[in-house]
Structure 1
Amino acid sequence: MSRQLLSALFTGLLALPLSAVALAEADINDQADAEKEIAELPSNLLETARSLKQQGLEDQLAWDLTEELLTKVGPRFAGTDGDRAAVSWALTQFRELGFQNIQAEEVEVPRWVRGEISAEITAPYPQELVAVALGGSIGTPEEGIEAPVLQVHDLEELESLSRSQVEGHIVFFSQRMERRRDPSGYSEAVANRSAGPALASEKGAVATVIRSIGSSDQRVAHTGGTRFPEDVKRIPAAALSNPDADLLERQIETGRPVTLRLRLTSRNLEPTTSANVIGEIPGSDPDAGVVLLGAHLDSWDITPGAHDAAACVGIVTTVAHMIRQMDEQPRRTIRVVLFANEEFGLSGARTYAENRRNRIDEHYVGIGADLGAFEVWRFDTVINEDAMPVARALHQLIEPLGVEMGSNEGYGIPDFIPLRALGMPVLDPLQDAAPYFDIHHTINDTLDKVDPEQLRQNVAVYAALTWMAANMDVELRPTPDADD
């Protein structure tokens, strides 16, 4: 920013309220810090990052990988034949793309079979409902379960009720997920699914249904996992499509008693094994650590999981391959990890972190993809506050792609949770979550929902960030949320 422009900006600030002046001065200082940091980065490093960004915008490999995984494998739920086929497919891709130090790291995963489901209102106005079992649910007796419905908004309302008010009912969580560009709407509602059935069971409910934790207005239900502590009795649990949840609410609003019949054949089996698929692009400096590119390989059983997360597999694999093809070797090793069983318990993430607990410091930074391949619109971080000028400098590289600067309160992907707890910093590109949660965990998460141009924009963003992370010289630790 020129001195003349800075002078003009400060002159204009004189007419503003003091609070606005302070904010504007902070923005200018942030901009100046970012420009100073980016100016101090080696010009050849920036030139390469910009070249990779342009190459990403012209990329075809990410689409080809996504299409092939969905066509040749399809659904790949943990412990199934599809899961095993996906691991084999990924190992083959890594070998063909020239990755090194390839391994299938064994992971124990739970084994759950969805079975069949039927749901219907039996009174006061009988109607069939579209529903899907939640992962971890048990089945009903052969004849099903029929019981009165007790509507609650969320966990807090259920917690306020006595056991006598809940006992013998099918509890219906009616909270609607808000459709937003960031994932906050999902975060606010998802506890109904993950913890609601267990709480309902503790209070004597015979089953649970929830409004789908998703924003689709189509008559499809969103699945997902639920958790029952060891000392809590498992009960049948299902999600209703949003239109059917609306119907159930309307019948309850008539003031007449509403009864529901559920029949599920879900069951839990003995754990089995899957694998994290790992491959590397070696760096020139063995002591500089690794940049971890992460995505999960599995999907729920009812969906091919195009956005969740086949396209994410395509993005991180392509970025590593692009850097491998360069004449210039990255300083840090780039490690791609396709995690096992993210959907039903983070099994692969926990295994990976535990196996490297004593080597966590080798992870310079993690960059993950698990919000689909809709357009990246924001860039968050989880790094040392002193390194934020560098984060703003990185943002300058990707800002022309339509990416806003976010905060240092990023989340990263779920598979990074165990690593973040150990102190791994995170660079966090954030995709548009609004369309993502329309199809998340549904039968509609198919290849036709992936826009090739948006997929290429993702590759461009990730490529520029990965190259800079693999070569820049700045300390990103300690992170704001690392455990002591």
Structure 2
Amino acid sequence: MKHWALMGVATLALASCTTVADQPSDMMMKAPVEAMILEAARSGTQGYDIVEGLTTEIGQRLAGTEAEARARDWTVAKFKEIGLQNVRVEPFTISGWERGVETASIVSPFPQEMLLTALGGSVATPAGGVTAEIAYFPTFEDLESAPMDSLDGKIVFISGRMDKAPNGAGYGPANRKRRSGASESAKRGAAAVVIRSVGTDSHRFPHTGQMRYADGLPKIPIAALSAPDADQLERILERGQAVTMALNIQPRAVGDRPSGNVIGEIVGTERPEEIVLISGHLDSWDLGTGAIDDGAGIGISAGAAQILIEAGLKPKRTIRVVAYGAEEVGLLGGFAYRDLHKDDLINHVLATESDFGSKPAYEVQLGVTEGAEVIESVADMLGLPMSDQPTNGGPDIGPIAALGVPTMRFQQDGTDYFDLHHTPDDTLDKIDPDDIAENVAAFALMAWLAANADTDFRADDPQAGN
């Protein structure tokens, strides 16, 4: 699938290198090799083939389930197939959670069904569900201002729309109701919560995601209405009559379950102990097939490694590809990686993750102390501006970034990302193969240059930031 282009480009690039002189300098070789990487990635389908295979042969991959286990096996086989070395699973254990029955309806004054989904980690309603009057809050901040003991026995409805932005800046503020809505409502006596889905689409697809219970407070069920259903509920409430809802969700905690990170490497020729880490996360929510979140990231990072392997390029440092497990339920794969590799993080010279869909990057962000010129050269070759915004490298990179690992990130265009993210609409047909190829080109070029750079991207003091 366009892999034929790689051999021809590689031959041309190597010929360009060796005809200048019998022993060409690094600078004389650099431009043809970099051009080869970009051309091979942009004309190839390596990344798209990987995400196509993962989403077709495995599908949804909820953390801790049998499907996530099959995804690990699939990824081990794929990493070996594309030529990665030291392929392995680094296991860890999580608290499992599974979805059950999910129904809701307006009982009065205008009876009708509503579409919603339980949020990850939510407890269930009583077996027969709960029927109660709605207490409406236009925003999460309005709920925070409500008096204590003012919501006894009610079902809280928190609205609040999310703004679109290329960098997803609206997600954090909108997500407060998902993360903390249940506990804020429980402390005021509520029986259950429904929220407007944390997303930017107008389709009748509810948007799931992980919630959290605060310590010392009752645990009450919480679910997300699709955006059109939230609109409908608001219109009904605007009529000025009391609104009663029947809610029945039956998720359940299923105890300890296995998860794990899948690792593969291109072992360095001169400094194999030094690591350039590129990654995505393997798990997904269970409503769609996890194409943009984050099959794309697996395809981009593993596809970038495949480009270098097929070109016969041998980096000086080790390039490590990580497919993190259990990201969606609390970055558990990222924390497990940090804990297992804590004593070796000083040898991680640079790390990044692709976890923002499949659209190409529009800028490059830095989280390094030294060696910025290496990443700036990558940005220049890709025609991308450098951002003045720092980065932790991505969600799963955050735990090791906090311990001093240098980071960078290609900031992808996420204007429409939250139209699909965590919904049944997250499927392969939303991915443009050319977009994936452009991301693969960026990752392959960056990994190659970072793995061969003289700098370690840290301050002179090797413990700085630790």
The two structures have a TM-score, normalised by structure 2, of: 0.90
- Percent same amino acid at aligned positions? 36
1:439 to 406, 420, 442: 420
Q: Supply the distance in 2 between the matched residues of 1:83 and 1:287 (Cα, whole angstroms).
A: 30
State the match for 1:452 in structure 2: 433
CA contact (8 A) 2:132 2:245 kept: yes
C-alpha distance in 2 between matches for 1:282 and 1:156: 51
CA distance in 2, matches of 1:225, 1:41: 49
- Contact 2:392 2:401 (C-alpha < 8 Å) held by counterparts: no
Tell me the CA shift for residue 432 of structure 1: 1.5
The SS at the match of 1:102 is strand
What is the aligned length?
A: 439
Q: Deviations over 1:63-122 (max 9, x none)?
A: 211111111111111121211110110111111222111111111122111101111122
* More divergent stretch after superposition (193-202 vs 469-478): 469-478
Q: Which residue of 1 aligns with 2:211?
A: 226
Q: Is the 8 A contact 2:140 2:159 kept in 1?
A: no
Aligned to 1:20: none
AA aligned to 2:254 is L
What's the offset of the Cα at 1:219?
A: 0.7
- Within the candidate set 452, 468, 471, 2:449 is matched to 468
d(CA) in 1 for partners of 2:135 and 2:126? 21
Of residues 415, 420, 428, the one that matches 2:396 is: 415
Q: Of 179, 203, 216, which residue of structure 1 is paired with 2:201?
A: 216
SS at match of 1:165: coil
2:67 aligned with 1:82: yes
Change over 3 Å in CA distance of 1:374–1:328 after alignment to 2: closer
Q: Hey, what does 1:427 align to over in structure 2?
A: 408
Contact 1:78 1:110 in 2 (8 A): no
Q: Secondary structure at the match of 1:335?
A: strand
Could you tell me which amino acid in structure 2 is paired with residue 215 of structure 1? Answer: T
Q: Partner letter of residue 188 of structure 1? A: P
Q: How does 1:213-292 map to 2 (within 5 A)?
A: 213-286=198-271, 289-292=274-277
The residue number in structure 2 matching 1:392 is 376
**Is residue 107 of structure 2 the alignment partner of residue 126 of structure 1?**
no
> Partner residue of 2:134?
149
Moved more, 152-161 or 451-460: 152-161
Does the 8 A contact of 1:397 with 1:464 survive in 2? no
Moved over 6 A (4+): none
Deviation at 1:390, TM superposition (A): 4.0
Contact 2:272 2:318 (C-alpha < 8 Å) held by counterparts? no
**Correspondences of 1:1-400 after superposition (within 5 Å):** 42-286=27-271, 289-384=274-369, 387-399=371-383
Q: Which moved more, 1:46-55 or 1:89-98?
A: 46-55
Residue equivalent to 1:35: none
* CA deviation after TM superposition for structure 1 residue 182, in Å: 1.2
Q: For the residues of structure 2 that align with 1:53 and 1:427, how far apart are their CA atoms?
A: 19
Over aligned residue pairs, what C-alpha RMSD do you find?
Answer: 1.9
Give 3-state SS (helix, strand or coil) of 2:164's partner. coil
Distance in 2, Cα, partners of 1:138 & 1:374? 35
Q: Secondary structure at the match of 1:184?
A: coil
CA separation in 1, counterparts of 2:104 and 2:175?
A: 22
SS at match of 1:379: strand
Rounded to whole Å, the distance in 1 between the matches of 2:31 and 2:94 is 42
In structure 2, the gaps of 5 or more residues are: 1-24
Q: Which moved more, 1:297-306 or 1:278-287?
A: 278-287
Unpaired segments ≥5 residues, structure 1: 1-39
Structure 2 Cα separation of the partners of residues 462 and 390 of structure 1: 13
More divergent stretch after superposition (469-478 vs 335-344): 469-478
Moved more, 60-69 or 41-50: 41-50
Once residues 26 and 210 of structure 2 are traced to their aligned partners in structure 1, the CA distance between those partners, rounded to angstroms, is 45
User: CA shift at 1:230, angstroms?
Assistant: 4.2
Tell whether the 8 Å contact from 1:208 to 1:236 is kept in structure 2 after alignment: yes
Structure-1 separation of matches of 2:405 and 2:326:
21
Secondary structure at the counterpart of residue 416 of structure 2: helix
Any conservation in 1 of the 2:192–2:221 contact (CA below 8 Å)? yes
8 A Cα contact 1:105 1:275, kept in partner: yes
- Residue 62 of structure 1 aligns to a residue whose secondary structure is helix
